[in-house]
Chains A and B, each alone.
Chain A
Amino acid sequence: MRRWLDPVVQLAGPSLLVIAVGLVATTASPSNEVYFLNALISVSIVVAIYVFVGNSGVLSFGQISFVAVGAFAAGVMTVPLESKKGVLTTLFPVLRDHTIGNLPSLLLAAGLGGLFAFAVGLPLMRLNGLAAGIATFAVLEITHNVLQQWTKIGPGATTLSLVPESTGPLQGTLGALVVIAVAFAYQRSRLGRQLRASREDAAAASGVGVHVHLQRLWAFTLSGALAGFAGALLVHQLGSITTEQVYLELTFLTLAMLVIGGLTSLWGAVVGALAVSGLDSFLSQAEQGVHVLGHKLDLPSGTRLVFLAAIMALVLILRPTGLTGGREFRLPALRRRS
C-alpha cells in the first residue's frame, strides 16, 4: 500500500465516524436527537483538549476555561437585541447594544479562546508535570469565579438564556469535522511533530533544536481556539447555560473521555468521546427501561452515574493505554504491511 494513503485513512476514520453519528442524529426523534448532539459536541471539546494534552503530554485542567469563555462570548453576543435589553441589563453598553449572527459568534468564540489561551500560556507553558496541571487548574478556577461574579461581561451566577439554538445535526457535525481537520493538520505539521518529539523526550527534543516552551505555547493557543469554538457550539445547542456547566464536572468528564479513548492519538480522542457519551446516553435510556437483544433492561433510577463511573474506572484499569491504545486509525488489512 502506498504511504500517502496512511494520512488519508487516519483522517477519514474519525471523520466518517463523526459523519455517521451526524446522519443518525438527523433520523432520530427530537427527544433522542439531543444525545447525538451531545456526542458531537463532546468530540469537539475532547479533540480540542487533545491538541494540547495529547500532543504535548502535559496534563491541563484548564482547557474548559476556554470552552467557558467561548460559550459565554457566543451566547451573550447572540441573544436577540430586543430581549437582551430586558434581561442582561448590567452588561457593558457595547455588549448590551450589539448582537451578531451565528457564524460570527463561532469565529468570535474561537478568536477569544485562542487569545485567552495565548495570554495564559505565555507565562504558564514553562511549567512541567503536576505544576503545569495545577497552574492550568488555577486558570479554570479564576475564569469560573470571574464569569460567575462579574455581571458586566455576562449574566453572572444566573442562567444565560434565550441563546438561539442553532447547533443542530448539521452544525454539530460540521463543527466537529472542522475541529478534527484542524487538529489533524496541526499534528502532521512541522510544529506538531516538534511538540510530539518533546512529548516523548523533552531533553532530546531540545537537544536537536526544538524550542519546547514555544511549541507548547502554539499548541495551547490552538487548543484554546478550538475549545472556544466548541464552547460556542455547546451554547448554541443548549440555548441556555450556567457557569457550573462549564466547570469541574465537564473538565473531569472530558479528560476521562480522552484518557479512555487513548491520550496520544486523534482517533483515541474521537473514540473516547463517542464511547463515553454513547454509554452515558444508553444508561439514561436504560433508567427508563430499554430493550437490548430481546431482553428488557431497566436500571433503578439514579444508578446511571454509578454504572458510568464504574465502567470508566474498569476500562482504565483493564486497558490503561485507552481503547485505541493511543494509535491512529488504520484499516485492518493494512496492518500486515511491514
Chain B
Amino acid sequence: MILGTLDFQTLSDAVGLGAVYALMAVGIGLVFGVLRLVNFAYGQLVMAGAYTLAYTSGWPTWSSLLACFAVVVALSLAMDTAVFRPLRGQSPAVMLVTTFAISFLLQAIALIVDVRDGTIGEVAPSLSSLNEPVTIGGTEIRKITLVAIGVAIAALLVLALLLTRTTIGLHTRAAAGDFQTARLLGVRANRVIAFSVVVSGLLAGVVAVMLTVQQPFVGPDFALRDTIVVLVGVVVGGIDRLWTATLGGFTIGFTSGLINGLLPTDKTVYLPSAVFALVILVLLLRPAGLFAWGSRTAPERV
C-alpha cells in the first residue's frame, strides 16, 4: 500500500487547517497590500493572543476572549507605530529583516515572561471542549473543524463587505492598487494603514483562539511554523491581490493536511519535503502566483 486512504476525516481536517491558514493569509495580505511589507512577526501577534488566553484561563470565557483581542490589536498597532511607520518606503529586504528582528524580540520577551514559573509553556484550556467530536453521517469530526470553517467563512464575508461596501474599504483597495495615486486622490495614508493593521490584528486574535483549541500548549514559538507556511502559501497564491493570497493560504493548509493524510505513516516524516517540492514546482510554473490571472511578464518600463 503506497497511499493511505482518503477518507472524510482527512478531508475535513485538511479543510479546517486551510480555513485557519486562509485567515492568517488575509491578515498578512492586508498589511502587504497597503505597506508592501511582509510581516514575518505576524505569528507573534497570534502567540501573544494565545498567551493572553492561557493567562486568563481562569476568567469567564467571554472576558478571556476579549482580553485576547485587546492585546493582539494593541500589539498590532504598536508594531505599526514603532516599526512599520519609520520603515515606510524602504526596500523589501530591509522591511522583512526588521520584522525578523521584531519576531525574535517578541519571542524572547515571551520566553522571559513564560519561565517565571520555572517551566516553558502554558496551557490555554478554556475552549478545549471544542475538541470533542460530533458525528455527521457516520464520520466523527472535531467540533473545532466545523467552527474553524464557519468562523473563517464568516470573517471573510464580513471582510469582503467591509472592503467593497464601505468608504474605508474602498480607500484600502485603492491604496493597495497604487498607494501614491490613491494619496493624490485624497485617500489618507495613515487611516488606511491603521484600518488594515487593526483588521489584521483582529484576524490574528481569531487565529489565536482557534489554534489554541487545536494545540492548547502555548510556547514562545507558538504559531511560528504556521506563519512560515502561510507566508509561503501567500506568495504561492499570489501576494499582489488579497483574494489570491487568501486562496494561497487556504491551499497550502489544505494540501498539507491532505498529503499528511495520504502519505503512509512511515513516510509522513517527509511531509515537508513533499509540500515544499510542490511549492517549488508551482513557483516555477506560475511565478506571479497560482491564482494570478494575466501574468505580468516583463518589468514595467515607462
Instruction: A124 to B281: give the CA distance in the assembly, Å.
Output: 10
Determine whether the beta carbon of A320 is less than 8 Å from that of B90: yes
Assembly CA distance A29 to B135 (angstroms)? 67
Q: Which residue of B86, B91, B228, B280 has the most chain A CB atoms within 10 A of its CB atom?
A: B280
**Chain B residues closer than 8 Å to A248, beta-carbon distance:** 228
**Distance (whole angstroms) from the CB of B166 to the closest CB of chain A:** 29
Interface presence of A312 (CB below 8 A): yes
Partner of B101 from A59, A127, A138, A316 at Cβ < 8 Å:
A316
| A159 at interface by CB-CB < 8 Å | no
Chain A residues contacting B109 (CB-CB under 8 Å) are: 306
Q: Is the CB of A130 within 8 A of B100?
A: no
Asked whether A45 is an interface residue with its Cβ less than 8 Å from the other chain, the reply is no
Decide: B231 and A309 in contact? CB cutoff 8 A.
no
Min CB distance A318 to B, Å, is 8
Q: Determine if A138 and B239 form an interchain contact, defined as CB atoms under 8 angstroms apart.
A: no
Check if A32 is an interface residue, CB within 8 A of chain B.
no
* Cα of A145 to Cα of B101 in the assembled complex, Å: 25
Q: Report whether A141 and B276 are in contact in the complex, using a CB–CB cutoff of 8 Å.
A: yes
Given A126-B287, A130-B239, A149-B270; A138-B279 close (CB under 8 Å): yes
Give A291-338 interface residues, CB cut-off 8 Å to B: 302-303, 305-306, 308-310, 312-313, 316-318, 320-321
Q: Closest CB of chain A to B6's CB: distance in Å?
A: 23
Q: Is B270 within 8 A of A145, CB to CB? A: yes
Verify A303–B273 contact, CB threshold 8 A. no
Q: Flag if A130 contacts B105 (CB, 8 Å).
A: no
Provide the residues of chain A in CB contact with B239, threshold 8 Å: 130
Known: A123-B284, A128-B287, A145-B270. A256 touches B101 (CB 8 A): yes
Does any Cβ of A come within 8 Å of B83's Cβ? Answer: yes
> Nearest CB to that of A53 among chain B residues?
B93
Partner of A135, one of B105, B107, B283: B283
In the assembled complex, the Cα of A317 lies from the Cα of B83 at a distance in Å of: 7
Selected contact of A309 from candidates B94, B102, B228, B288, CB within 8 Å: B102
Cα distance, A329 to B129, chains bound together (Å): 62
Q: Which of A138, A263, A320 has the most CB of B within 10 A?
A: A138
Q: A147 to chain B: closest CB distance in Å? A: 11
> Complex formed: what's the CA distance from A133 to B232 in Å?
9
Across the interface, name the chain B residue whose C-beta is closest to A300.
B112
- Which of A59, A127, A144 contacts B96, CB < 8 Å? A59
Picked from A137, A144, A148, the residue with its CB within 8 Å of the CB of B232 is A137
Main secondary structure on chain A at its contact with chain B?
helix
- Determine whether the beta carbon of A130 is less than 8 Å from that of B87: no
Q: Is residue B25 contacting chain A, with contact meaning CB distance below 8 A?
A: no
Interface contact A126-B105, CB-CB below 8 Å: no
Does the CB pair B272–A305 fall under 8 Å?
A: no
Q: Which residues of chain A are near B203, meaning CB under 8 Å?
A: none
Q: Are A313 and B38 in contact, CB atoms less than 8 angstroms apart?
A: no
**Interface range on chain B (Cβ under 8 Å from partner):** 35 or more
12 pairs of residues in contact across A and B, judged by CB atoms under 8 Å: A59-B92, A59-B96, A126-B284, A130-B235, A133-B235, A138-B276, A138-B277, A141-B276, A305-B111, A309-B101, A309-B105, A320-B90
Q: Which residue of A lies closest to B287 (CB)?
A: A131
* Chain A residue contacts of B96, Cβ below 8 A: 59
B118 at the interface (CB under 8 A from A): no
Interface assignment of B195: CB less than 8 Å from any CB of chain A = no
Q: In the complex, which of the residues A127, A145, A146, A308 has the most CB atoms of chain B within 10 Å of its own CB atom?
A: A145
Q: Which residue of the partner chain A has the closest CB to B115?
A: A302
A142 and B235 form a contact (CB under 8 A): no
The residue of chain A having its C-beta at the shortest distance from the C-beta of B233 within the complex is A134
B283 contacts across to A, CB distance below 8 A = 127, 131, 134-135, 138
Q: Which of A133, A142, A255 contacts B277 (CB 8 A)?
A: A142
| Residues of chain B with a CB closer than 8 A to A320's CB | 87, 90-91, 94
With both beta carbons as reference points, the residue of chain A lying nearest to B93 in the complex is identified as A59
A135 to chain B, nearest CB (A): 5
Instruction: Determine whether the beta carbon of A259 is less than 8 Å from that of B105.
Output: no
Asked if A145 contacts B87 (CB within 8 A), the reply is: no
B279 with A134: CB separation less than 8 A:
yes
- The answer to whether A313 touches B276 (Cβ under 8 A) is no
Report the separation of the CA atoms of residues A130 and B195 in the bound assembly, to the nearest whole angstrom.
25
A135 touches B280 (CB 8 A): yes
Q: A130-B239, A256-B97, A320-B90 are in contact. Are A146 and B273 (CB under 8 A)?
A: yes
Q: Which residue of B lies closest to A258 (CB)?
A: B97
